[in-house]
């Protein structure tokens, strides 16, 4: 698979096969992604790979926090406080498309709740990745982190694996830091599910449109 194919065929996978991922493949993914660009070669990323009992403990802890209605306390604000167009419509369409693929109706709060908790279950993926950055790093380092994340997803796709980056996993960062015994100095940027995709599941067979190049590009001479 070439790089263009990897970019255009990548998608957020929300259903995985019950099939383990070889550690050698995980190491290959990270060994390749470490060559991602970063300002003055800061390489600001820190990665926690969670599987087995640790992954399950994170799932149980986040689910219980949500059940207990604990206030979310992410290390940063991912989304805008107030949505406006065109982002408001894109967000709404994303949610409607996901629920349609899952067969969830508006008047079915139990199914909606279960769908949300699937985020905490890493959608059944055997591997979870959690990405941290030192809290005093500037916005440029967060840009670097984005390029690192993209590299991971593209390499995984090229190896026949699938991923889903998940902002939902950053809702209770203190609890995750406690589980992993990680310093408060490291902010949780995002999580990611990784595994072999269940290509037969409806949730993996819908796609969202992308804007045409000329809708977001200005050409100057």
Dist. CA 162–CA 158, nearest whole Å:
9
Q: What is the CATH number of domain 3-208?
A: 3.40.109.10
Question: What's the pLDDT tens digit per position in 163-192?
Answer: 999 999 999 999 999 999 999 999 999 999
Question: What's the pLDDT tens digit per position in 2-54?
Answer: 999 999 999 999 999 999 999 999 999 999 999 999 999 999 999 999 999 99
Determine the pLDDT at residue 97. 93
Give the mean model confidence (pLDDT) for residues 68-88: 95
Give the mean model confidence (pLDDT) for residues 191-213: 96
Model confidence at 217: pLDDT above 90:
yes
Among residues 16, 11, 4, 7, the alpha carbon closest in space to that of 200 is found at 16
Q: Is the peptide bond before 86 cis (omega within 30 degrees of 0)?
A: yes
Determine the pLDDT at residue 105. 87
Determine the pLDDT at residue 1. 86
Give the mean model confidence (pLDDT) for residues 128-147: 98
Model confidence at 106: pLDDT above 90:
no
Spans of all domains in the chain: 3-208
Determine the pLDDT at residue 43. 98
DSSP states of 8-30: HH--B---B-S-PPPHHHHHHHH
Dist. CA 153–CA 155, nearest whole Å:
6
Q: How confident is the model at residue 107 (pLDDT cuts 50, 70, 90)?
A: confident
Question: What's the pLDDT tens digit per position in 44-62?
Answer: 999 999 999 999 999 999 9
Both ends of the chain: CA-CA distance in Å?
35
Model confidence at 133: pLDDT above 90:
yes
């Amino acid at each position: 698979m070439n790089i263009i194919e990897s970019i255009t065929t990548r998608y957020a996978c929300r259903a995985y096969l019950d099939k383990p991922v070889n550690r050698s493949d995980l190491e290959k993914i990270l060994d390749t992604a470490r060559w991602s660009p970063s300002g003055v070669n800061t390489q600001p990323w820190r990665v926690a790979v969670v599987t087995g009992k640790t992954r399950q403990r994170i799932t149980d802890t986040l689910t219980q926090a949500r059940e207990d209605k604990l206030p979310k306390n992410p290390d940063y604000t991912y989304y805008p406080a107030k949505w406006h167009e065109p982002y408001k419509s894109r967000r709404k369409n994303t949610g409607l498309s996901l629920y349609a693929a899952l067969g969830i109706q508006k008047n079915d709060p139990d199914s909606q709740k279960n769908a949300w908790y699937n985020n905490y279950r890493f959608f059944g993926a055997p591997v979870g990745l959690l990405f941290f950055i030192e809290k005093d790093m500037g916005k440029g380092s967060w840009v670097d982190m984005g390029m690192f994340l993209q590299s991971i997803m593209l390499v995984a796709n090229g190896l026949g694996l699938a991923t889903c980056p998940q902002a939902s996993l950053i809702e209770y960062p203190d609890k995750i830091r406690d589980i992993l015994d990680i310093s408060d100095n490291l902010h949780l940027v995002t999580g990611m599910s990784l595994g072999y995709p269940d290509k037969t599941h409806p949730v993996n067979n819908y796609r969202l449109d992308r804007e045409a190049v000329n809708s977001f590009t200005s050409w100057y001479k």
